[in-house]
Amino acid sequence: MQKFPLTELALLCSFFLTQMTITTYAAELESKKVQEPQIADNNQKEKQLEVISIFGQRNQLATATGSAFVLGEETLDQFEFDDIHRVLQSVSGVYIREEDGYGLRPNIGLRGATTERSSKVAIMEDGILIAPAPYAAPAAYYFPLMSRMTQVEIFKGPSAIKYGPNTVGGAINMLSRPISSAKKPQAQIDLALGQDNYQKAHGYLSQTKTLAGYGDIGFLIEGLTINSDGFKALDGGGDTGFKKNEIIFKLNFVPSNAQYYQIWQFKGGYSDEVSNETYLGLTDTDFIENAERRYIASKNDKMDWEHYQFQLSHYIELNDQTSFYTQAYHREFDRDWDRLDSFNSSRSMQTILTSPETGINALFMEVLKGKRDSATSEENLLFTLNDRRYYSQGLETKLLWDSELMGADLALDAGLRFHRDEVERNHRSNQYFMQGGELVFADEQQQTTTQNKDSATALASYVNANVDFGQFNITTGVRVEYIKGESYDYLTGEKLTSSDTVVMPGLGIFYKIDESLGLLLGVNKGYVPNSPGQGDSVDPEESWNYEFGLRYSQQDFRAEVIGFYNNYSNLKGTCTFSSGCDQTLDEEFNAGEVNVYGLEASFTAEFELTKGLTLPINVAFTHTMSEFQNSFKSSFSQWGRVESGDALPYLPQNQISIEMALQHENWRAALLLKHVEAMQEATGDNTELSRLWTDELLQLDLSSWYLLSNHVKAYLKIDNLTDETAVVSRRPFGARPGKPRQVTIGMKFTF
């Protein structure tokens, strides 16, 4: 794998040292005013969390100038979800397209932004973008295990401009477990077993110690492994399961002899996955007979990846008003996905599976099922080893300044980020033939189908100001990005370069009608950059996004109703295998003007039934409409021949989730109901999945826990309690089910 160029690495180091020099010099200036060293307290420690969190102490949910939702540690622990899809199902304005049933490759969209591999949503961990190559190849093939997260934040609205480059839908930020400030070791072990040989082992150890004369030093080490045999059954037998591992190490140092409160932190992590997953689904007829079946032709399919992350951060608080936060980060992701892609024929796999009894398609289907041997070279099966290597690294610094202006509270947040990422693809294709119900390697020369490298360099800056005076809370800001892309095709020798500069302003206003009730409105420019190597005919995705709503908030009661309108001047589609496209991979398509609009409503309350017994309720509803404003014909598989007024695919018109629980000091039991209306698989005519829809989904999850002692908690959860079977998607190829009923029991030991 090609590493970061030394000249640019030197620039990063120089930039980091310059930042440290600036903050040190500023501290020296302040020392002339302040004679006594500042003493760290809990408030200062909380401020450090603000710079990696969308919602800090100064930006409370009740007065946020945009649609906002936070899932805290207690909520995440309640259902013990490993799948980010299930975690987000209780949040309005979030759309999910399931694929494998376990959320191994998430497909998440916000307010109409396509769900395809979550590529158009700014997804972060501790404020750092987690996509393997956020600019050059933003598809989320890597996703961290949710069990080690302590908070998930979802924001849709003007403040999304702080978290680019993608600012159309919004941002999702996950906070990893912080280092404990306790002087005694804090530890927990979580063990769970479930159906389909599901196993989970999770543990962490954390402590902070004071070194006399030096300061506080703290550490966290956390490990997690999850595996399952899978719920699908291969014809003839075989493995359809997965195993994921992750380990995280953090080290904090808070010097005691420094003039100003500051924190140095190192974070390192390793994770891997081996999953026997496939892109091959079923015909609709076979799905009805047995939704958990897998054809023998997919027996050799396997994903294998490794991920490394390293971060060094520094936080310094110069005074009660001013603080700086700087992070240097580096991530590497290396994946091999050996899987069935097609037959050695011009006929696509999607066509065969959607019309399995038509002419020659019936013969191909018999080969897929192992009922007939391959008779010709066209009936040979093409397996592609999709070998890709990514890196993503950069340096970002943020200034946070609190003050008062003409009697109003003013919070200024400004940031600068230098970033570079790269993906190198080396795809090779081998032929197999079916013989006696087994896959046999064909004596054909391996073909290199794709060998290229895409890279992107970006310099991004933003300024965001929040003014709170009287009844008004106003947030206004602007983001500016300069993006340079390079694409090199090793097979043709073709090299393409591109560059773009974009300015993304945003404005949000919250008006307090009284202490509990308020109105909000906002507008911001949405933007999704082109991937490297796109021609001049492909435009970036751009939109103007508007929202207007009403929010009511008290201690145990919160309700919110928000209308939104996203006016795209150009919407893009991207050809990928995961989207069911078998043309030129990563080619992008223009759709022109598209409108997405709708209503989000949420309701959260907790009622006291008797002394010590409460009834928490959480309801989230989303109504969405979309319309293409132009008629056109596209070779993109999700569009086809589009007529003005047609709707976007995979965007349900209505979806709702309802969570109800009974909670006591020593126990809790909860039910979570999710209903999603059917979604169309393609927009127009003249494409393979035209006029096909996913099934309506009605899913019920149950969870409960009981405290056996102060240190031991037992829990039981049942995902998909009613064992609902539904077609959640026909992409990439064929009908695919969600996860069937899964019963899991576990124990948590806290020390």
Indicate if the pLDDT at residue 8 is higher than 50. no
- In sequence order, which residues have a C-beta less than 8 Å from that of residue 673 and are 6 or more positions away? 657, 658, 659, 698, 699, 700
pLDDT recorded at residue 526: 93
State the Cα–Cα distance between residues 600 and 520, nearest whole angstrom. Answer: 13
- In sequence order, which residues have a C-beta less than 8 Å from that of residue 619 and are 6 or more positions away? 601, 602, 603, 604, 656, 657, 658, 659
| Bond preceding residue 106 cis, omega within 30 of 0 | no
pLDDT recorded at residue 258: 87
Q: Which CATH superfamily is domain 6-750 in?
A: TonB-dependent receptor, beta-barrel domain (2.40.170.20)
- In sequence order, which residues have a C-beta less than 8 Å from that of residue 286 and are 6 or more positions away? 293, 735
State the Cα–Cα distance between residues 115 and 111, nearest whole angstrom. Answer: 10
| Interior/surface letters 603-638, b for 16+ CB within 10 angstroms, e for the rest | bbeeeeeeeeebebebbbbbbbebebbeebebebbb
Stretch 503-517: mean pLDDT, rounded? 94
pLDDT recorded at residue 164: 85
pLDDT recorded at residue 583: 64
pLDDT band of residue 213 (cuts 50, 70, 90) is: confident
DSSP-derived secondary structure letter, 613: E
The mean of the pLDDT values for the chain is 89
Q: How far is CA 608 from the centre of its chain?
A: 35
Tell me the pLDDT tens digit for each residue of 159-203: 778 888 998 888 999 999 999 999 999 999 999 999 999 999 999
Indicate if the pLDDT at residue 668 is higher than 80. yes
pLDDT recorded at residue 29: 33
Closest CA to 175 of 72, 91, 90, 100: 72
Paired strand residues for 199:
193, 227
pLDDT recorded at residue 4: 36
What are the start-end ranges of the H helices in 471-611?
none
With contact defined as beta carbons under 8 Å apart, do 658 and 670 qualify? no
State the Cα–Cα distance between residues 54 and 125, nearest whole angstrom. Answer: 11
pLDDT recorded at residue 578: 77
State the Cα–Cα distance between residues 700 and 702, nearest whole angstrom. Answer: 7
DSSP 123-156: EEETTEE-SSBTTTB--------GGGEEEEEEEE
Tell me the pLDDT tens digit for each residue of 82-114: 999 999 999 999 999 999 999 999 999 998 788
Tell me the pLDDT tens digit for each residue of 26-77: 333 333 333 333 333 444 445 545 556 655 544 467 788 888 889 999 889 9
pLDDT recorded at residue 23: 37
Query: CA Rg, the chain, in Å?
Result: 26
Which residue type sits at 110?
L
Please report, for the chain, the start and end positions of each structural domain, with discontinuous segments joined by +: 6-750
- In sequence order, which residues have a C-beta less than 8 Å from that of residue 193 and are 6 or more positions away? 199, 200, 744, 745, 746
Indicate if the pLDDT at residue 476 is higher than 60. yes
Instruction: Give the containing element (helix H, strand E) for 23.
Output: helix 6-31
pLDDT recorded at residue 95: 95
State the Cα–Cα distance between residues 580 and 342, nearest whole angstrom. Answer: 11
Indicate if the pLDDT at residue 419 is higher than 60. yes
The residue that leads in pLDDT, 37 or 139, is 139
Tell me the pLDDT tens digit for each residue of 447-466: 999 999 999 999 999 999 99
Indicate if the pLDDT at residue 262 is higher than 80. yes
State the Cα–Cα distance between residues 39 and 305, nearest whole angstrom. Answer: 45
The residue that leads in pLDDT, 124 or 42, is 124
| Interior/surface letters 316-345, b for 16+ CB within 10 angstroms, e for the rest | bbbbeebbbbbbbbbbbbbbebbbbbbbbb
pLDDT band of residue 143 (cuts 50, 70, 90) is: very high
